[in-house]
């Protein structure tokens, strides 16, 4: 008869050691079948560093330890710093790193799933706050947008790609064009509803120069098609979108006392200039 609790032989001890899985610190295993207890290889736990995160997706419906319920297909972030302990119901999609936003910069984001308008276009927006920005599980970083630095010599010509309210609080219509100058702000970051047409250089005239502007923009901001406006120097200005010079910058006529100009009207107008006689009066 064999005794209970007796010493085991070498073969029994070998089988016992083979059935024991030793897990080092900060490692884990996956049990594939609770009936057979067949396990995968021991795998190190994933360390998530600061300003990084893991984008996770639920493979099955389950409830987390804190009581939060997850539905298959849900996505969320595990933000660092921390050590991520995997679950069989969860898949790691990717590791996300924070994007650093500096002065006069913004990042352009687009919604992955949420925020789709009626036309099926995913919503886009800008984040301008300086610092490290970690995008959410349903956010996608498109690019970094740098500001255009404005001076008294340079202005920015922009166009609205959709109706919106600009940074100055003015309503803009689709296709509307305007200038952003130093008088508006020192640096301009185009919004997702704007596109940059180009940079406009300042037009400068001396006291002996003038120009004729075709289709000038009126006080209401709308172009006056077919109209003309004479601008006399000394002056510096920016040509508004749609405006152009008839013959560029022209020199004024300098006349002596014995010279004059013969003028002809090319269209009807009211002459408001006062004629000043500078010739001496003979007594």
* Domain edges within the chain: 44-97, 99-146, 148-201, 203-249
Strands (E), 134-273: 139-146, 148-149, 154-160, 164-165, 171-172, 177-180, 187-188, 194-201, 203-205, 209-214, 228-232, 235-237, 244-245, 250-251
**What DSSP state is assigned to residue 260?**
-
Q: Are 44-97 and 203-249 equal in CATH topology?
A: yes
Query: For residue 283, what pLDDT is reported?
Result: 46
203-249: which CATH topology? SH3 type barrels. (2.30.30)
Structure tokens at 274: 């006062």
Options 3.30.300.130, 2.30.30.550, 2.30.31.20, 1.10.1060.10; CATH for 99-146 is 2.30.30.550
Which fold, 44-97? SH3 type barrels. (2.30.30)
pLDDT of residue 220: 81
Per-residue pLDDT of the chain (283 residues; tens, 9 = 90+): 444 445 555 554 444 444 555 556 655 555 555 555 555 556 688 899 999 999 999 999 998 888 889 999 999 999 999 999 888 899 999 999 999 999 999 999 998 876 655 555 568 899 999 999 999 998 999 999 999 999 999 999 999 999 999 988 889 999 999 999 999 999 999 999 999 999 999 999 999 999 999 999 988 878 888 888 999 989 999 999 999 999 899 998 888 888 888 888 877 878 777 655 555 545 4
pLDDT for 253: 87
Q: Do the bridges between strand 171-172 and strand 148-149 make them parallel or antiparallel, or are there none, so unpaired?
A: unpaired
DSSP-assigned letter for residue 217: B
Superfamily of domain 148-201, CATH level 4: Major Vault Protein repeat (2.30.30.550)
Residue 101: strand pairing partners: 131
Residue 118: predicted pLDDT: 53
pTM value > 0.85: no
Which pLDDT belongs to residue 183? 93
Residues pairing with 236 in the sheet: 204
């Amino acid at each position: 008869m064999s005794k209970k609790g007796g010493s085991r032989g070498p073969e029994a001890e070998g089988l016992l050691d083979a059935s024991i899985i030793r897990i080092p610190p900060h490692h884990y295993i996956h049990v594939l079948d609770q009936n057979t207890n067949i396990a995968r290889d021991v795998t190190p736990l994933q360390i998530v560093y600061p300003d990084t995160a893991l984008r996770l997706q639920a493979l099955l419906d389950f409830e987390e330890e804190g009581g939060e319920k997850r539905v298959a297909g849900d996505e969320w972030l595990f933000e660092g710093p921390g050590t991520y302990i995997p679950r069989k119901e969860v898949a790691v999609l990717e590791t996300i790193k924070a994007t650093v936003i500096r002065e006069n910069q913004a990042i352009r984001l687009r919604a992955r799933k949420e925020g789709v308008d009626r036309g099926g276009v995913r919503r886009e927006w800008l984040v301008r706050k300086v610092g490290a920005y970690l995008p959410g599980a349903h956010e996608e970083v498109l690019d970094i947008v740098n500001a255009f630095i404005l001076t008294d010599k340079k202005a920015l010509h922009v166009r609205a790609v959709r109706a919106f309210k600009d940074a100055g609080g003015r309503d803009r219509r689709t296709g509307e064009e305007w200038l952003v100058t130093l008088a508006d702000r020192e640096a301009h970051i185009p919004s997702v509803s704007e596109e940059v047409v180009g940079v406009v250089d300042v037009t400068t005239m001396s006291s002996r120069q003038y120009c004729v502007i075709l289709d000038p923009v009126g006080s209401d901001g709308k172009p006056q098609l077919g109209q003309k406006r004479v601008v006399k120097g000394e002056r510096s200005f920016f040509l508004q979108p749609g405006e152009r010079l008839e013959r560029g910058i022209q020199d004024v006529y300098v006349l002596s006392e014995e010279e004059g100009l013969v003028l002809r009207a090319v269209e009807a107008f009211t002459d408001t200039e006062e004629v000043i006689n500078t010739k001496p009066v003979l007594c």
